[in-house]
Amino acid sequence: MDISKIFSESFNDILSNPKVLLPYLILGILVTIIAVVIIAYAILSSGGLSFIHSLSNQSVNSTYNVSGTFASTLFSSLKNTFVYLISFIIVISLISFIISIFVYGTIIALVEQIKTKTKVSVINAFKKSSSKYISLLVAGIIISIIGLVSVGIPLLLGITSFVNIGGGFGIIIGLILIIIAVFIGILLSISFFLINPLIIIEGTAPIQAIKKSYKICYNRKAEIFILFIIIGILEFVSYLIMTLVSIIPILGAILAFLIGIFVSTWFIMVPVYFYYNLKNKNNKTPGTTVTPIKTTSANTTRRRQITRTKNSKTS
């Protein structure tokens, strides 16, 4: 499989069809707005700024009272703010998970339109993603549970070994368990690589998509692992670029945001192009016409052989 073609073709299709960037752009804007609103609410409602008001109400000469009030109020404010931040992380994670399912499905549907040479329409892609939303959600929940159990248990045991057992033996056991957790995580990521394309493009049910993705991807572990390595390198490079660009006031933040949108969309498209690459190999690419094999000459040859056999028997 030509891995470089997967990245170059998907990259070029983004440039020629910038509509593909819209779903992730909308996701980024929505999550940013929601995050700002929740953070502002958490700070104001938790009393995160109350110690400033307390200080302003104190006499300048009562230094001891000011410092005492500051310490107690600040501790109480930080405690409340911490609780709100934990809640904030949970809420944002859930919201991002729910919205991202629409985004992933829409981007995959847009790629399908590009590959089948139909009109690129974000609305039609969103409609198709919406029709498959439950399947995508169920598949996402299932693989999340599988990952949480299979990766979380050895990871938790490894951390526990560091803390409870201690010493050289505890460190060794902990490292082994953590390595096992990482290995299982990579293996699961490879096995579930094609779940979303199978659901959106082929209309496969969640359980069947998980099984089919495992069956297809398990025999192509090396190729997909190379894709992961390349994606990791590109993510690192893009992060460096965004960090450097963000130094520019205002404009830098906007550019970094847009670069992040481009890169995230690109990496969502990679599994879809991998899927189509496999379909091309099997001459089953959706939207293409497979030229039927001509069998006339073969049948003619077979009839001649039969005729020759009969003639030899007759003679």
Q: Read off the pLDDT of residues 114-133 as tens digits, 9 standing for 90 and up.
A: 998 889 899 999 999 999 99
Residue 206 lies in a domain: yes
Residue 241 lies in a domain: no
Q: Which domain holds residue 139?
A: 133-219
Residue 190 lies in a domain: yes
More confidently predicted of 88 and 108: 108
pTM: 0.73
CB 177 within 8 A of CB 241: no
Cα Dmax for the chain: 131
Q: Give residue 39's pLDDT.
A: 72
- Split at pLDDT 50, 70, 90, the class of 235 is very high
Is it the case that residue 296 has pLDDT exceeding 50?
Answer: no
- Split at pLDDT 50, 70, 90, the class of 57 is low
Q: Give residue 93's pLDDT.
A: 78
Least confident of 52-61, 112-121, 267-276, 278-287: 52-61
8: CB partners within 8 A, 6+ apart = none
Residue 202 lies in a domain: yes
How much is the average pLDDT of 288-299?
38
Q: How far is CA 149 from the centre of its chain?
A: 19
Q: Give residue 2's pLDDT.
A: 78
More confidently predicted of 207 and 62: 207
Residue 186 lies in a domain: yes
The rounded percent of the chain whose pLDDT value lies above 90 is 43
Q: Read off the pLDDT of residues 215-224 as tens digits, 9 standing for 90 and up.
A: 999 889 899 9
Q: What CA–CA distances, in Å, run from 295 to 223, 288, 289, 303?
A: 36, 21, 18, 12
Q: What is the dihedral of CA 275, 277, 278, 280, to 10 degrees?
A: 120
In angstroms, the CA 99 to CA 96 distance is 5
More confidently predicted of 182 and 158: 182
CB 188 within 8 A of CB 146: yes
Report the number of distinct structural domains present in the chain.
1
Q: What CA–CA distances, in Å, run from 266 to 81, 87, 259, 285?
A: 36, 31, 10, 21
Query: Measured in Å, how far apart are the chain's first and last C-alpha atoms?
Result: 55
Residue 199 lies in a domain: yes
Residue 23 lies in a domain: no
Residue 196 lies in a domain: yes
- Split at pLDDT 50, 70, 90, the class of 226 is very high
